[in-house]
C-alpha cells in the first residue's frame, strides 16, 4: 500500500515565520484527513505543553483516513529504553504508530551524538525494539541517510538493518541537508531495496531546489512511503511540497494515493494551511497556485481556447483549481471573448460589446490600471461597459483627517456619508492605523447597516505601486487589494495621483464585488 505522510505540523512548523496554534493544528488535521493523507505527524509529544495538549485533544477527533503520529528520537545513550523520557513520551501519546529518527551518518554519530558507530547501532535497535514490544508500529526516519550513504554506504545500511531487525515497519531515507541530486537518490534507493526486505520511504529537503524531483525519483526507484509538507514549509529552504507531489503521483505516475474526489480538495487544503500559517499563499506553486493555469500571452490564450492541452499539462479542475485568462495590453479580442465566455457565451470577437470592452480595456491600461491581479475590478468594468452595472450605494462624500499627537503618534479618522438604493443615508466615522485603514473602517461601518454580509470580508493584501518615479510625490500610483470572505479570494485595483482616491476605488470595487457575487449565488440557488 502506498502511504502519504504529512509533517507540516512538525517539520513545517519549524520553518521561518511559521507557527501553528493547537486550534490551527486540529483544523489542519481534519482537512488532511478529508484529503486522504495516511499519516499526520503532530510533533514532539514531550517537548512542550502545546504539543502535549495537542495529542490529548486529537483523541477526541474521529478521523476517517488519517492516523496522527508522534515524533521523537532514539534513546539517550545514558538511559536504558524503559527509563528514556523521549521514548516514554511517545508511548504516552497513546497512538498506534510512532516515528523516531536515528543517525545514519558516521559524521553525525561521532560529532553530534559523541558515541561510537557500534553504540549508535545499539541505540537504534534497542529503541525500535522497545517501542514494538510495547505494541507500537514504528516508522524509522534515517536522518542524513544519503550523506551517510555517500560517505560510508556499508555503515549506512547497517543502521537501516538495525531498525528493520528490531521491527520497524518502514525505513524512511532522509536527505536532511537537501543537497543530493536525483540520480544519487535513485542509486541509494535501489541499493537499499536490494539489501533489506522492508518498505522504503523518502523524506527530502529543498536546499538545492530538488526536493520534489528527488521524491518523485525515489518513488520511481521503489519507495512506497512519501513524506513532505504542504506549501513546502520547513527549515531553511523547506521540505518536499506535498501540494506538488500528490498530484504528480496521482496524475503523472498513476499511483492511487488519493481518490479523484479527494484530489480536487488539494488546492483548498493548500490555501487553508497558508491562511492558518498567516502567510501569503504562493500563487506560483504548481497545481495549487492561482497562476498555475493562468494565461496572458495572446497566442497562448488563442491556443487554449481551441484545445486546453496546448498549454495545460493537467485539467485544472482535477486539482480543485481553475483556468484563468489574464487581461492586459498584450491580449487581443479573442482573449477578451475567452475571458467572458462563461457569462456571455453568445458573443464573438466582432460583437459590439466585445469591441467596446476591448477599447475600454486599452484605455484603462494606458491610464495605469492593471487587471491581471484584479479580476474583480475587470468583472465590474465589464458590467459597466455592457450597461449591467447598478451601484449598491452612492457616495455623498468622505473626509479623512490625520492628527499628530503630543506623544508623536499619528491618529487617522475618516468620516463618510453614503446613500443606499432605497434612499436611506448613513453618516458615520471610524479611526484607523492610517488614512486608508480609517477610510476602510468607516466605509464598512456605514455599509454593514445595509449589507451585513460585508462583515465576512477582510483584506488579505494591500500593495501600492508608483507608476511614474520621475514625478516624485506627485506621481500616479496604482493600488492593488486582495480580499477574501473566507471562501473566495479576489483582487481589485484603483489608480490616481492621490493615494486615498486610488485606495477608495480598490476598496469600493472589493466590497461591491462581494455583493454582486452573493446576489448571483442567491439567484442560482433560488427554485426555478
pLDDT at position 298? 66
Predicted confidence (pLDDT) at residue 23 exceeds the cutoff of 90: no
Name residue, grid cell 529518527.
101
Predicted confidence (pLDDT) at residue 239 exceeds the cutoff of 70: yes
Q: In terms of pLDDT, which residue wins out, 418 or 343?
A: 418
pLDDT at position 270? 95
| Residue 430: CB atoms within 10 Å | 19
Going 310 to 311 to 317 to 319, the CA torsion angle's sign is positive
pLDDT at position 524? 67
Region for residue 485 given its phi and psi (left: phi exceeds 0; alpha: psi -120 to 50; beta: otherwise):
alpha
Whether the pTM exceeds 0.75: the reply is no
Name residue, grid cell 475600454.
360
Q: How far apart are CA 70 and CA 60, in angstroms?
A: 16
Residue 280 · residue 286 · CB < 8 Å: no
Nearest CA to 8 among 352, 345, 243?
A: 243
pLDDT at position 368? 86
pLDDT at position 94? 92
DSSP per residue, 404-433: E-TTS-EEEEEEEEEE-TTS-EEEEEEEES
226: helix, strand or coil: strand
DSSP per residue, 481-494: EEEE-SS-EEEEEE
Residue 222 · residue 190 · CB < 8 Å: yes
Q: What is the CA radius of gyration of the chain?
A: 28
pLDDT tens for each residue of 254-299: 999 999 999 999 999 998 898 888 887 898 999 999 899 988 766 7
pLDDT tens for each residue of 135-181: 999 999 999 999 999 999 999 999 999 999 999 999 999 999 999 99
| Residue 90: CB atoms within 10 Å | 28
pLDDT at position 175? 98
For residue 502, what is the enclosing H or E element?
helix 499-525
Mean pLDDT (the chain) is 91
Residue 151 CA from chain centroid, whole number: 36
Predicted confidence (pLDDT) at residue 325 exceeds the cutoff of 80: no
Mean pLDDT, to the nearest integer, of 246-250?
98
Mean pLDDT, to the nearest integer, of 288-314?
81
Q: In terms of pLDDT, which residue wins out, 367 or 319?
A: 319
If pLDDT is split at 50, 70 and 90, which confidence band does 202 have? very high
401 strand-pairing partners: 413
Name residue, grid cell 543517525.
103
Q: How far apart are CA 382 and CA 357, in angstroms?
A: 7
Strand order in the sheet with 477-484: 458-466, 477-484, 489-496
458: helix, strand or coil: strand
Nearest CA to 398 among 434, 426, 361?
A: 426
Strand order in the sheet with 425-432: 394-404, 410-419, 425-432
Integer angstrom CA distances of residue 112 from 121, 175, 282: 15, 17, 36
Q: Is 274 exposed, middle or buried (0-12, 13-18, 19+ CB in 10 A)?
A: buried
* Least confident among 68-82, 91-105, 304-318, 376-390: 304-318
If pLDDT is split at 50, 70 and 90, which confidence band does 526 have? low
Predicted confidence (pLDDT) at residue 527 exceeds the cutoff of 80: no
Q: What are the structural domain ranges in the chain?
A: 3-277
Mean pLDDT, to the nearest integer, of 368-379?
85
pLDDT at position 486? 85
pLDDT tens for each residue of 329-354: 555 677 788 778 888 888 888 889 88
462 strand-pairing partners: 481
If pLDDT is split at 50, 70 and 90, which confidence band does 469 have? low
pLDDT at position 332? 67
Q: Is 523 exposed, middle or buried (0-12, 13-18, 19+ CB in 10 A)?
A: exposed
Mean pLDDT, to the nearest integer, of 403-410?
80
Predicted confidence (pLDDT) at residue 473 exceeds the cutoff of 80: no
All cell numbers assigned to 443: 466605509
Span 3-277 CATH architecture: Alpha-Beta Barrel (3.20)
SS percent in the chain: helix, strand, coil, step 5:
45, 20, 35
All cell numbers assigned to 257: 494515493
394: helix, strand or coil: strand
pLDDT tens for each residue of 477-513: 999 998 989 888 899 999 999 999 999 999 999 999 9
pLDDT at position 404? 82
Mean pLDDT, to the nearest integer, of 406-425?
88
Integer angstrom CA distances of residue 313 from 229, 285, 319, 437: 23, 14, 12, 42
Mean pLDDT, to the nearest integer, of 365-373?
81
Predicted confidence (pLDDT) at residue 528 exceeds the cutoff of 60: no
Predicted confidence (pLDDT) at residue 516 exceeds the cutoff of 80: yes
Amino acid at each position: 500500500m502506498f502511504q502519504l505522510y504529512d509533517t507540516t505540523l512538525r517539520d513545517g512548523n519549524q520553518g521561518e515565520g511559521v507557527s501553528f496554534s493547537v486550534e490551527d493544528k486540529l483544523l489542519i488535521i481534519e482537512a488532511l484527513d478529508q484529503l486522504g493523507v495516511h499519516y499526520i505527524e503532530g510533533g514532539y509529544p514531550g517537548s512542550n505543553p502545546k504539543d502535549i495538549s495537542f495529542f490529548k485533544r486529537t483523541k477526541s477527533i474521529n478521523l476517517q483516513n488519517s492516523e496522527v503520529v508522534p515524533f521523537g528520537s532514539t534513546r539517550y545513550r545514558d538511559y536504558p529504553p524503559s527509563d528514556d523520557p523521549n521514548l516514554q513520551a511517545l508511548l504516552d501519546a497513546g497512538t498506534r504508530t510512532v516515528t523516531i529518527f536515528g543517525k545514519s551518518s558516521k559524521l553525525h554519530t561521532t560529532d553530534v551524538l559523541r558515541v561510537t558507530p557500534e553504540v549508535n547501532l545499539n541505540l537504534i535497535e534497542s529503541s525500535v525494539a522497545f517501542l514494538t514490544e510495547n505494541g507500537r508500529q514504528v516508522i524509522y526516519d534515517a536522518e542524513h541517510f544519503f550523506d551517510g550513504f555517500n560517505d560510508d554506504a556499508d555503515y549506512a545500511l547497517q543502521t537501516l538493518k538495525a531498525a528493520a531487525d528490531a521491527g520497524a515497519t518502514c525505513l524512511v531515507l532522509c536527505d536532511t541537508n537537501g543537497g543530493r541530486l536525483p540520480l544519487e537518490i535513485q542509486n541509494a534507493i535501489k541499493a537499499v531495496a536490494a539489501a533489506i526486505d522492508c518498505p522504503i520511504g523518502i523524506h527530502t529537503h529543498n536546499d538545492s531546489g530538488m526536493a520534489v524531483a528527488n521524491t518523485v525519483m525515489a518513488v520511481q526507484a521503489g519507495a512506497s512511503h512519501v513524506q513532505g509538507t504542504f506549501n513546502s514549509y520547513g527549515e531553511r529552504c523547506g521540505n518536499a511540497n506535498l501540494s506538488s507531489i500528490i498530484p504528480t503521483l496521482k496524475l503523472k505516475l498513476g499511483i492511487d494515493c488519493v481518490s479523484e474526489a479527494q484530489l480536487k480538495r488539494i488546492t483548498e487544503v493548500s490555501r487553508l494551511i497558508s491562511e492558518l500559517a498567516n502567510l501569503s499563499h504562493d500563487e506560483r506553486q504548481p497545481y495549487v497556485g492561482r497562476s498555475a493555469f493562468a494565461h496572458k500571452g495572446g497566442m497562448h490564450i488563442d491556443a487554449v481556447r481551441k484545445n486546453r492541452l496546448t498549454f495545460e499539462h493537467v485539467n485544472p479542475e482535477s486539482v480543485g483549481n481553475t483556468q484563468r485568462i489574464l487581461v492586459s495590453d498584450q491580449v487581443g479580442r479573442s482573449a477578451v471573448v475567452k475571458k467572458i465566455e462563461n457569462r456571455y457565451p453568445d458573443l464573438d470577437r466582432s460583437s459590439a460589446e466585445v469591441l467596446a470592452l476591448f477599447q475600454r480595456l486599452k484605455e484603462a491600461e494606458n491610464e495605469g490600471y492593471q487587471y491581471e491581479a484584479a479580476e474583480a475590478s475587470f468583472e465590474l468594468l465589464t458590467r459597466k461597459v455592457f450597461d449591467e452595472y447598478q451601484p449598491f450605494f452612492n457616495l455623498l462624500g468622505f473626509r479623512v483627517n490625520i492628527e499628530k499627537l503630543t506623544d508623536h503618534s499619528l491618529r487617522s479618522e475618516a468620516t463618510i456619508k453614503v446613500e443606499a438604493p432605497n434612499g436611506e443615508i448613513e453618516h458615520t466615522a471610524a479611526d484607523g492605523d492610517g488614512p486608508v485603514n480609517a477610510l476602510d473602517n468607516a466605509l464598512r461601518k456605514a455599509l454593514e447597516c445595509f449589507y451585513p454580509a460585508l462583515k465576512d470580508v477582510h483584506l488579505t493584501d494591500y500593495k501600492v505601486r508608483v507608476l511614474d518615479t520621475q514625478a516624485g510625490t506627485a506621481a500616479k500610483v496604482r493600488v492593488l487589494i486582495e480580499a477574501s470572505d473566507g471562501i473566495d479570494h479576489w483582487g481589485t485595483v484603483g489608480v490616481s495621483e492621490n493615494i486615498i482616491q486610488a485606495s477608495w476605488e480598490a476598496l469600493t470595487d472589493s466590497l461591491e464585488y462581494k455583493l454582486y457575487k452573493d446576489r448571483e449565488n442567491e439567484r442560482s440557488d433560488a427554485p426555478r
